[in-house]
Amino acid sequence: MQSASMKKKQLAQAVAALVLGLASTQTFGTGFQLNEQSASSIGNAFAAGAAFTDDVSAMWWNPAALSQFSKPQVAAGLNIIVPSIKFNNNASQPAGCYPPACSPAVLQPLGNNGGDAGGYNYTPNLSMVVPINQQWAFGLGINVPFGLVTEYDDGWIGRYQGLKSKIETLNVNPALSWKINPQFAVGVGVNYQQVKATLTQNVNYSGALLQAAAGAGVAPGSPTFNAIAGLTPGLDSKATITADDWAWGWNIGLAWDATPQLRLGASYRSEIKYSASGNVSFSNPTVTVPAGTPPQLAGTIAALSAGVNSQALFGRGVNSDITLPAIANLSFVYKVNQQWELMGDVQYTGWSSIPQLAFSTTSPPSLPTVALNWDDSWKFSAGASYKVSDQWKARFGVAYDQTPVTNAPTVRLPDSDRWWLAIGGEYKWTPNWKFDAGFVYIFADSPSFNQNQGSTPSNALVNGSYDASVWILSMQATYTF
């Protein structure tokens, strides 16, 4: 028999990969990066980007845009985001026990396809500008740069890799612009940003019991081991990680009216480094054995369950250092005539700032490190606006959005390259009031999916494909004083 410390270490290692898998999903992938900061720009698929000046919501892409406003202005918007994520099973395999103690006799049920993992999500945005004089202007933006919710049905095929993923952020961005001359302006801002995450998944409790048995010296394949397997099939625990943090960043922008028809803009948002802290908790099942089970065997199973609950699947604090990526935009708006405007934008996101996820816990041992190796990604947008009258303007846009995930996507968000199709409009009700609305449909590639997060016996093999799409409806009211 092994020592108590060795058994505790082996039990902890058995669950470590599962807990890390819970936290190392595509939390900050392209699907969670929200560009929806303006209903007036979304109709162009944000093609105006850092050169946009229709209202003060432009400050998100370029703080230098604040120099364009001679009067105080406030813009408030609401975005309704509805993703659809449906899995199509092909050759998935159910989970078994933790290696090396694996037996086909204890495979978990395969499960269902998970339903639609998308759902309704709402994100607000608020922007304001107060001109100080002809050269200087102050602005304040409050918005949600990252955030989404995905949730699969209970008992689905990939339940050991992910059930619910809820990401919430809040960004507060005061900024200042300086109009150097009639053609050129610069702007700078600071960002105080919060991130909150809730992530859940199932844990193969039956496998954890067998891993504990093997760690206690019960040989895999022995009569006792097989008896334990036969008496404890299909047991699941539910793991939940919650974590949050506040952190600082900065942004800068340049705006140049190169000609009366052509406006150029460039902007940069810094990385934001978080030291997130929170907790991992487990909802473990009650283990019962059938009547007539030999007392010694029943006692062994009860002792194994107690050991799993106290030494492996137990609540503790979690800490992780994560750096959200830098974002840069280069944009133009070209006024063709009194009615038509053309625009384009290139956006770069430095996702390579997250090469890996490393977690530590308040109770040893620490969790292992997982390599992500995300690539930096690009988004290309093109759009046009048509001024129907002094009151009405129509907007159109298209965009190609590249995924940073080139290695192993996760069930929490099976990310892929996607296309945007956008349409929107503006209505000037009075000289003070302006209303905007925009609609976007985003459709993604449907690549094959084959993921076990390192172990089919532990996490199941999710093999198939995804049908994924998103539609977004944005509305905004702007008041000029």
- pLDDT tens-place string over residues 138-162: 999 999 887 778 899 999 999 998 8
- Amino acid identity of residue 23, one-letter, is A
For the ranges 42-51, 163-172, 323-332, 427-436, the lowest mean pLDDT is seen at: 163-172
- The 8-class DSSP code of residue 109 comes to P
Confidence of residue 367 (pLDDT cuts 50, 70, 90): low
Does pLDDT of 1 surpass 50? Answer: no
- Does pLDDT of 428 surpass 80? yes
Query: What's the pLDDT at 408?
Result: 61
pLDDT at residue 451 in the model: 86
pLDDT at 103: 52
Q: Give the pLDDT confidence of 197-222 residue by residue, as tens digits.
A: 888 999 989 988 988 998 899 988 88
**Dist. CA 222–CA 236, nearest whole Å:** 24
pLDDT score, position 404: 82
Looking at residue 380, its pLDDT comes to: 97
pLDDT band at residue 11 under the 50/70/90 scheme = very low
DSSP calls for 402-458: --S--S--BTTB----EEEEEEEEEEE-SSSEEEEEEEEEEEE---EEEE-TT-HHH
Q: What CA–CA distance (Å, rounded) separates 14 from 441?
A: 43
More confident position, 249 or 408: 249
What's the pTM? Answer: 0.85
Burial call 358-383: b when 16+ CB within 10 Å, e when fewer: bbebeeeebbeebebebeebebbbbb
Percent of the chain with pLDDT over 70: 88
Q: Among 58-62, 295-299, 361-365, name the one with the lowest average pLDDT.
A: 361-365
Q: What is the pLDDT of residue 361?
A: 82
Q: Model confidence at 370, in pLDDT bands (50, 70, 90)?
A: low
Find where tokens 């296309």 sit. 419
Instruction: Give the pLDDT score at 412.
Output: 78
Give yes or no for a cis peptide into 100 (omega within 30° of 0).
Answer: yes
Q: What is the CATH number of domain 4-383+395-410+421-436+448-480?
A: 2.40.160.60
Termini Cα distance of the chain: 79
Range of lowest pLDDT (6-10, 77-81, 311-315, 357-361): 6-10
pLDDT at 365: 60
